Structure 1
Amino acid sequence: MKKYLLFDHDGVLVDTELWYYRAGERALADIGVALDKDRYLRDMSQGVGTWAQARAAGVDEPTIDRQRAVRNDYYQEYLRTEAIEIEGVVETLAELSKHARMAIVTTAKRVDFDLIHAERQIKQFMDFVLVREDYQLAKPHPEPYLTGLQRFGAAKEEALVVEDSSRGLNSAVAAGIDCAIVHNEFTKAHDFAQASYRIERLSELTDILRAT
């Protein structure tokens, strides 16, 4: 039986994936580089992201470092001003909390995570949160989810990861944990062949828990 849920954050609990891409797109546009979305999505699955395209275009590292800070500012601007709620998340988490213990395992930086959740009700259902600063190797490496298991003191068979990207799925698979992929329009073209479950919305997790 699945007793523990390990949630990814961006694209699963809040609708931020697009805005992170837009922030990078805007930061590269500032220096005359166009960010190709299809390549970004492919790079994203490997944990590479925006700056591979900048390097391929011949941008030097000092400029990349400067524009990374600019990207972060743009992203935080979007977090403050754009609608990033996913309908029904809080209600679903309240229901799921009756059946399993829950935590968030995210590649988001602490400053962004804290900004997102300053006035939201999601964290109240979580035993703990692991942000990027809480582990050494990011997804698709298994360390983030193995760290989550260790914090819970849980066996791999007792846990279920909830993700929306192939990078996160690969992290879960490498950690030996079953993974449910929730639909996200931004990442829908990723390869999810290794997923244990495919769901349209988080509320479907209740049936999965009951069936395991």
Structure 2
Amino acid sequence: MRDITAETFEAVLFDNDGTLTDSTAVVERAWRAWALDRGIPVERLKGFHGVPSRSIVTALLEPGDDIDLATADIDARELQDLEGVVALPGAAQALEAVGERAAMVTSATRELARLRLTAAGLRPPAVLLTAEDFTRGKPDPQPYLLGAERLGVDPVRCLVVEDAPAGLRSGRAAGAATLAVTTTSSADELAPLADHVVTDLSAVQFSLTADGVRVSLAPVTA
């Protein structure tokens, strides 16, 4: 385990859905409708949070089914529904504090990521990695390795901030330190994969120094 409060990080790599933005209701509505239209039991959708839509579709469809068509269908459903998408506590402050040393690494498409950030009132960081940029999605390390590469930093000296086990596995496999938020998964699920677990980003403070980004625990308010 790494003590994230004792390190200075070259960059912070944020997931989006469930980490910066609350899009849970939208995601659940879209995927439930998609599954029901295909006769797929809704229970089979469990365990895929943080995984790219094409990977989920591939895992759920039968051999011979049209993966391209089914993926386009779920992507279109998600693009059409932004009702209730909001910024999670501490997200805006975290992005502002980290500034040019931030990247966002999401399993969503670029268009969907930008739409959700806009709906939540968040400004995306300059470096934005999406499903179109990967050949292998989370939990593979490629997404976070690419995020570090785009920023020109060593992934081992990065902090990955995630809400999903798949994303944490991706960050760890890339060599990064990991911070988990319990916005969509329980602390028990996340703790084995994270160096530190908090409720959301309001529980930590990021500060930019000449050498990089420092992380501290936010003061507890009554």
Asked if TM exceeds 0.5, the reply is yes
The total of aligned residue pairs comes to 201
Deviations along 1:84-104, one digit per CA (max 9) or x if unpaired, are 33244213432444xx72110
Q: 1:204 maps to what in 2?
A: 203
Partner residue in 1 for 2:38: 31
Q: Structure 1, unaligned stretches of length 5 or more?
A: none
2:17 is equivalent to residue 10 of structure 1? yes
Give, in angstroms, the shift of residue 196 of structure 1: 0.6
Alpha carbons of 1:116 and 1:158: their partners in 2 closer, same or farther (altered >3 Å)?
same
Change (3 A) 1:44 1:183: closer
1:55-75 CA distances to partner (integer Å, 9 max, x unpaired)? 3xxx8513x544433322321
Q: Following the alignment from structure 1 to structure 2, what is the Cα–Cα distance between the partners of residues 71 and 94? A: 32
Equivalent position of 1:109 in the other structure? 109
Whole-angstrom CA distance in 2 between matches of 1:76 and 1:192? 32
CA deviation vs aligned residue, 1:111-137 (integer Å, no higher than 9, x gap) = 21232234654335x231111112221
**Is it true that 1:180 corresponds to 2:187 in the alignment?**
no
Partner residue of 1:90 out of 89, 92, 96: 92
Structure 1 residues 153-164: aligned runs within 5 Å: 153-164=152-163
Taking the TM superposition and a 5 Å limit, the aligned residue runs for 1:36-185 are 36=43, 39-44=44-49, 48-50=55-57, 52-55=59-62, 60-62=64-66, 65-79=68-82, 81-97=83-99, 101-118=101-118, 121-123=121-123, 126-185=125-184
2:59 counterpart SS class:
helix
**What's the % identity of the aligned pairs?**
26
Note if contact 1:20-1:75 (Cα within 8 Å) is conserved in structure 2. yes
TM-score, structure 2 as length reference? 0.76
More helix as a share of residues: 1
Unaligned runs of 5+ in 2: 1-7, 208-213, 217-222
3-state SS, counterpart of residue 206 of structure 1 = strand
Whichever residue aligns with residue 56 of structure 2, its letter is G
For the structure 1 residues 46 and 112, does the alpha-carbon distance in structure 2 shift closer, same or farther, using more than 3 Å as the test? closer
**8 A contact 2:140–2:173 mirrored in 1:** yes
Higher strand proportion (structure 1 or 2):
2
